[in-house]
Amino acid sequence: MREKLQFYIDGRWVDPVTPHPFDVINPATEEVCGRISLGSEADVDLAVAAARRAFPAFSQTTREERIALLQAILDEYAKRSDEIAEAIMDEMGAPWALAKDAQAASGPQHIGAALKALKTYPFEERHGSTLIVKEPIGVCGLITPWNWPINQIACKVGPALAAGCTMILKPSEIAPFDALIFAEVLDAAGVPAGVFNLVNGDGAGVGTALAKHPDIDMMSFTGSARGGIAVAQNAAPTVKRVAQELGGKSANILLDDADFETAVASGAADCFDNTGQSCDAPTRMLVPKARLADAAGIAARVANSTVVGNPRDDGVMVGPLVSEAQWNKVQALIQKGIDEGATLAAGGTGRPDGISKGYFARPTVFSGVRNDMTIARDEIFGPVLSIIPYEDDDDAVRIANDTSYGLSGYVSSSDLARARRVASRLRTGMVHINGASLDSMAPFGGYKQSGNGRECGPHGMDEFLEVKSIYGYEAAS
């Protein structure tokens, strides 16, 4: 069993000011797999003070020094990658292939993207006699979620270091051990004392203290819309910048000329991936009304063939939901779909057959869903697909945009020009055409209640920089 009761503050592992042990539960077994400490405002004060002391020197480091530091982090991470994958598998239930090849692998992907962006980032720009410079914003509070834990840590810490900021990380207390290993990676890589600090805790104890703290200049938050609103409200009195990456209810539009078998099958599989616990999951599949039955049949076949089980077992494709609370939420929403009249094509409430323990859910497909149903409006964050019929392209766009979220969108068509036209009308921060993958150098973020920040690549660095105009920098000609 893992036990890590200390925090990483000012380049050292230190005891919490007030002990508050907290059990971490393995969602596949419902048993304790480790123990951490939950921090308090006093711990946050110590970490912020360390970051504030470190900022003047680190903010003045050269581009070349920060390039070398990020490369050292990549080198150290490679030594611990499998250990990070093991931690993610145990703490949030990702099957081994997903934990190793996607979850743990996302860490160096984002650090590498920050390194690439840093090498050519334009920190200075001349306009006549005026110099416009971008400078590190200062001390940053970083709050990250449990669903893609190291992914979200790396796509905040990497750009923050590249920009020259110092920081305090509060990872999710539900999935904390990958973050603690990551802190050891940064320490071994030679990150200067106070530049990176980690305090474990919950939202009420540590998250609120970070957002309110007068010596924190910027908050970067990934999580629920409710959590993002709380961070923004707590940050408002000190007028600090708040960058938010929140939820989603992404539409997957299959136009009538799409390769239907492939598009439906891949869309359903993507919805179930990571047990549906991805903010950009394509959870609303929009299909031509005449093809509704076909889509439901294909998606149901995918659901019924998806192997759910212990993440450590060979061949398992989908692990458990992260917690009992999440399991209960997903079960209630599946029942809500049934009660509101959606057609259950596969899955349903309860655990999969043969599983009596663990927070496992059945991959579920609803057909004939109306966009005003709860399952089409709320972010379920579980392996639940809603198939919604539409009349024509205009109707598909209308349905896709009829949501409080705007994180991602998906369009499938054999006519690329047509797909581009539909993509241009979607009110989302990202659109995938014909299954295109994410680009780690492109901005990740959304519209509306999906947030107001952008992460990854050079746009991720923008969030951690202030802009200064120096007039008369050169004598006017």
Active site residues: 245, 279
Spatial separation of the C-alpha atoms in residues 343 and 345, rounded to whole Å: 6
**Sheet with 465-470, side-by-side order of all strands:** 124-127, 130-136, 465-470
Query: Both ends of the chain: CA-CA distance in Å?
Result: 70
- Are the beta carbons of 321 and 274 closer than 8 angstroms? no
Cα angle value 242/243/246 (rounded, 5°):
120
Within 10 A of 476 (CB to CB), how many other CB atoms are there? 8
Spatial separation of the C-alpha atoms in residues 380 and 247, rounded to whole Å: 10
Quick one: which of 1, 58, 57, 64 has its CA closest to 29?
1
- Are the beta carbons of 170 and 210 closer than 8 angstroms? yes
- 123: Cβ contacts below 8 Å, ≥ 6 apart: 63, 133, 134, 135
- Are the beta carbons of 413 and 393 closer than 8 angstroms? no
- Are the beta carbons of 153 and 455 closer than 8 angstroms? no
Quick one: which of 59, 407, 17 has its CA closest to 200?
17
Q: List, as one string, the DSSP characters of 7-56.
A: EEETTEEE--SS--EEEEEETTTTEEEEEEE---HHHHHHHHHHHHHHHH
SS3 384: strand
- Helical pair 393-401 and 416-425, crossing angle rounded to 10 deg: 40
Spatial separation of the C-alpha atoms in residues 324 and 359, rounded to whole Å: 6
CA 237 to centroid of chain Cα atoms: 27
Q: How many residues does the chain have?
A: 477
CA 387 to centroid of chain Cα atoms: 24
SS3 91: helix
Cα angle value 364/388/245 (rounded, 5°):
75
